Amino acid sequence: MTDTATIPPLSGLRVLDFAQFLAGPVAALRLADLGAEVIKIERPQGGDSCRSMVVNEQILEGDSLVFHTFNRGKKSVAADLKEPADLEKIRRLIASADVMIHNFRPGVMERIGLDYPAVRKINPRLVYGTVSGYGNEGPWRDKPGQDLLVQALSGIAWLNGNADDGPIPTGFAMLDVATAGNLVQGILACLLRRGITGKGALVEVSLLSAALDLTFEQFTCFLNDAKRQPQRHRIGNANPYQPAPYGIYKTVSGYLAIAMTPLSELARLLQAPEIDAFGQERAFCDRNDIKAVIAGILATRTTDEWLGILEPAGVWCAPVLDWPDFIASDGFEALDAVQTIRSASGDEAYTTRCPIRIDGRNLGKGEGAPALGLHTRTILKSFAAGEE
């Protein structure tokens, strides 16, 4: 009897990944981690533009290392969608697929003839996922859908930093990754529905929608506060709508993060009755003055000394670690979060593994990204003969 616990949950599904750069390929990567066969459809000249997007001068097997992190374990088919012969082969491949993903700007797939209405005629059971920057309507639809630009347009950059700072974006592609997660959720939901109805679906996500979804707590506060721009804390801002002491504070040896804590309890532990004098009801209105007092006290001892006082009392707090300290921690070791990927020639690099565990097992693929067009012949030869 087959041990179903060893079979990846999406084993047997075929995903066609037409996407480039990050959000679309990361969604396809997650489906690959979950067991699907993912085939990248790339242009013959250069392929996915991310292949040449070298970050930190790191390259693996001639392609950007970051490209490998988004595309590990996939297959690659090189096809010129402007050439009728190649396009016909891809149409036949689409007929065999379960999922198709792209992140072309609005209108591109319509011109090629692979938009959802056209593809649905080829394969009514297909789940068709699209990623855009700003949706398919409105005056922003043709703007570049890039993470930093959407952080700027969505107001997110004005949530970070302290009150006297200018706009500060996050130091990573937060919206690309969040958008990928939204796409995966929609695809999986539609695959489940397809199992009941037999019909495919169109799943549409955008970076701008992801920006609002990620900030739903703060944006809801804004909508119900006469739509006034949130005011960041002057000291240690971490969330403009949270009361004191919420934030990050400097100590003698580093930094300390403190989350939601009653002022009376913190006043007792810091031996600072002046904090308690504000009263809990003023924890938001007087947050800057309260945090100034707290900051002055926390600056007198090391982070470890304060942790020794606050953690045993149940205060939600943590040291602020940099990455060298983080990977040296017991918490990181227990996570088992890093895997080795290998190129076709045996070169190795490290990256993160899939964060999902299924039946007690870590997921992930140890192969690096495929060479451009590596699987073109083996995958398309049967379709060229009109077979499936």
pLDDT digits (tens, 9 = 90+) for 5-17: 679 999 999 999 9
The dihedral sign for the CA sequence 367, 173, 258, 308: positive
Q: If pLDDT is split at 50, 70 and 90, which confidence band does 1 have?
A: very low
pLDDT digits (tens, 9 = 90+) for 217-272: 999 999 999 999 999 999 999 999 999 999 999 999 999 999 999 999 999 999 99
Lowest-confidence region among 37-46, 237-246, 280-289, 344-353: 344-353
User: For residue 81, which amino acid is it?
Assistant: L
The structure tokens 């007792």 sit at 268
pLDDT digits (tens, 9 = 90+) for 120-160: 999 999 999 999 999 999 999 999 999 999 999 999 999 99
Active site residue: 86, 165, 176, 213, which one? 176
Residue (of 160, 178, 179) closest to 170 by Cα position: 160
If phi > 0 it is left, if psi is from -120 to 50 it is alpha, else beta; for residue 336 that is left
pLDDT surpassing 70 at residue 2: no
pLDDT of the residue at 364: 73
Identical topology for domains 4-214+337-384 and 247-327:
no
DSSP E strands in the chain: the ranges are: 14-17, 37-42, 59-60, 63-64, 75-78, 99-102, 127-132, 201-206, 247-250, 255-258, 317-319, 338-342, 348-352, 357-358, 361-362
- pTM of the predicted model, to two decimals? 0.94
CB neighbour list of residue 240: distance below 8 Å, 6 or more residues apart:
159, 218, 230, 231, 232, 233
How many CA atoms, within 13 angstroms, populate the side-chain half-sphere of residue 261? 28
pLDDT of the residue at 80: 97
In CATH, 4-214+337-384 is 3.40.50.460: no
In this structure, are strands 201-206 and 247-250 parallel, antiparallel, or unpaired? unpaired
Question: Known catalytic residue: 147?
Answer: no
Give the Å distances, CA to CA, from 374 to 45, 79, 98, 271. 13, 12, 22, 67
The dihedral sign for the CA sequence 132, 96, 29, 333: positive
Mean per-residue pLDDT over the chain, rounded = 95
What number is the average pLDDT over the span 31-45? 97
pLDDT of the residue at 384: 58
pLDDT of the residue at 84: 96
Lowest-confidence region among 183-197, 241-255, 307-321, 346-360: 346-360
pLDDT surpassing 60 at residue 386: no
pLDDT surpassing 80 at residue 387: no
Cis before 245? omega within 30: yes
CATH of domain 247-327: 3.30.1540.10
pLDDT digits (tens, 9 = 90+) for 289-304: 999 999 999 999 999 9
pLDDT of the residue at 388: 47
> Bridge-partner residues for 319, per DSSP?
256
pLDDT digits (tens, 9 = 90+) for 249-259: 999 999 999 99
Tell me whether residue 374 is exposed, middle or buried, using C-beta atoms within 10 angstroms of its C-beta: 0 to 12, 13 to 18, 19 or more: middle
pLDDT cut 90: percent of the chain above it: 93
Q: Where are the domains of the chain?
A: 4-214+337-384, 247-327
What number is the average pLDDT over the span 170-197? 98
